[in-house]
A and B are shown apart, each in its own frame.
Chain A
Amino acid sequence: MGAIQPKVSEPVSDELALVEAAKGGDVPAFEELVRRYDRNVFRIAQHITQNREDAEDVVQDAFFKAYSNLKQFQGQSKFYTWLVRIAVNEALMKLRRRRPERTVSLDEEVKTEDDSVPREVADWSPNPEQQYTQAELRDILDKTIHGLPATFRTVFVLRDVEGLSTEETAEALDLSIPAVKSRLLRARLQLRERLNKFFQKRDKANGSPKTTGGDGNQ
């Protein structure tokens, strides 16, 4: 089994020049940066807030905040990592406002380690996503990730959907590298467990799931 192939990111060689121009008040240069990253910021914001209107607000607020504070960007990290950090904070603020009864923090204690131990081990069809239409698949993926704690969703979307490195994710979220790795493992295992019921191989005779049994731990 091979490792996951990383996403290939676009070249960013002219990015510092755009940032420098925008620092000097060149709005079209900043607009180009918006064009490069608005889709990513929207996706991250919707993963965290789970709400379309909030995600739209986050896109506007995060880019405006970035423009207003560009002079604080020193260029030690990538502009995108710096922008993601702003966007994640804006999205978490939205989430806290919407769910004031629950404290939402990236470094919250998340129960025990046991919640990620595989309980059901069942093989999936070779291309399980092809059993569904695009719309059905989006609905399944949306509902499935919805149930994860915010801290897990955030680490998962930055690492596995947006393709940030572990180090960049740690920097954007102000978490340690071991904390990022531990949350990522648990997010991945919990999503896998929840997707089982949609993607596992079915017995052709009666349509019932075909499991191999056992709890996966020996």
Chain B
Amino acid sequence: MKCADFLHELTDYLDGVIDSGTKAELEEHLAWCHNCYVVADTTKKTIEIYRDSKLYELPENLRTRLRTAIVAKCQSRKKSGPEGSAS
């Protein structure tokens, strides 16, 4: 297996959706190719850091304001008549 082949399979490998034969080939490659090991390991960390980050959290006061506005719009649509009469 070449490094390009490893990269091609990297997403399925990290997502754990790969057949056991291909997985064994990838791990055999990782055992001797330090560069691919580092790329796979740091890509996995990239995903975990973004997933666990508090990036773009919705502050509670803004959350309440948005929800109140949404509910008011839904209420007024409901009052405006039967389905489809408002847009």
Contact = CB atoms under 8 A, between A and B. Distances in A.
Interface of A: 1-4, 7, 25, 27, 30-31, 34-35, 38-39, 42-43, 46-47, 55-56, 59-60, 63-64, 67-68, 71, 116-118, 121-124, 128-129, 134, 137-138, 141-142, 145, 156, 160-161, 163, 166, 181, 184-185, 188-189, 191-192, 195-196, 199, 212, 214, 216-218
Interface size class of B (residues with CB under 8 A): 35 or more
A196 B75 CA distance: 50
A173 B23 CA distance: 29
Contacts of B78: 25, 27
A163 B48 CA distance: 11
B24 interface: no
B66 A59 contact: yes
User: Sorted from nearest, which 8 A-B pairs have the closest CB atoms?
Assistant: A3-B16, A216-B35, A46-B56, A42-B58, A185-B11, A192-B46, A43-B56, A217-B3
Given A42-B58, A181-B11, A67 B66 contact: no
22 contacts: A3-B16, A4-B47, A31-B71, A38-B58, A39-B63, A42-B56, A43-B58, A46-B56, A56-B66, A60-B73, A64-B73, A67-B74, A117-B7, A118-B35, A138-B54, A141-B53, A161-B50, A163-B51, A166-B15, A188-B14, A217-B35, A218-B2
Given A216-B35, A218-B33, A1 B71 contact: no
A188 B74 contact: no
Contact of A145 (B2, B38, B44, B50): B50
